[in-house]
Amino acid sequence: MLGRSEARVPASPAEARLETFPNPARRNYRIHFETSDFTSLCPITGQADFAKIEIDYIPNKLCVESKSLKFYLASFRNERGFNEAITNRILDDFIRACEPREANITASFSARGGIALTVRASFPDHPKGRGPVEPAKSDGSAGRRPTARR
């Protein structure tokens, strides 16, 4: 994408590539990307799922080039997947591309059937001062119950 004027959206996320460039600063700072144009497909019905995607990260040695991110996200338009899986895939691909010090993604999916869904995923998996989130058990219950703060 860098330095190229062609504008072809990849057919799928597998074909897409997040491009990077060297981080120009030697300090910690945050970069925030936001788009309301995200679309993927429900794996059950094939209907479009629309979302606002926000990615916030602290770069390490590399930064993600914004045009390649735009095309990468657009490549999900024909991709079937549950919102939770798609959000985590985006974060995994982002981490693989730029190896950030920290990254957070929030995917706010529009209401379908009267229920909106928001997925938040982070890298590293648990912020400083908090324990890891336990995976859900097969019966759908949480592995450990959160304790109330006093």
Least confident of 17-21, 26-30, 40-44, 139-143: 139-143
pLDDT score of 4: 56
pLDDT score of 20: 98
Beta bridge partners of 64: 20
Is residue 92 among the annotated active site residues?
no
Q: How much is the mean pLDDT over the chain?
A: 87
Which of 37, 42, 56, 92 is flagged as catalytic? Answer: 42
Separation CA 30–CA 56 (nearest Å): 7
Is residue 49 among the annotated active site residues?
yes
C-beta neighbour count of 99 within 10 angstroms: 14
Separation CA 37–CA 138 (nearest Å): 34
pLDDT score of 6: 62
Checking if the pLDDT of 127 tops 80, the result is: no
32 and 65 Cβ atoms separated by less than 8 Å: no
Instruction: Kindly give the pairing relationship between strand 20-22 and strand 62-64.
Output: antiparallel
Q: What percent of the chain has pLDDT over 70?
A: 79
Which of 49, 92, 93, 139 is flagged as catalytic? Answer: 49
- Name the residue ranges covered by the structural domains of the chain: 23-123
Mean pLDDT, range 24-51, rounded to an integer? 97
Of the options 3.30.1130.10, 3.90.1150.10, 3.40.640.10, 3.30.1330.60, the CATH number for the domain spanning 23-123? 3.30.1130.10
* Element containing residue 105 per DSSP (H, E): strand 102-112
Q: Is 46 exposed, middle or buried (0-12, 13-18, 19+ CB in 10 A)?
A: exposed
Q: The tokens of 104 are what?
A: 């957070």
Query: What is the identity of the amino acid at 67?
Result: K
pLDDT tens figures, 40-94: 999 999 999 999 999 999 999 999 999 999 999 999 999 999 999 999 999 999 9
Separation CA 55–CA 106 (nearest Å): 7
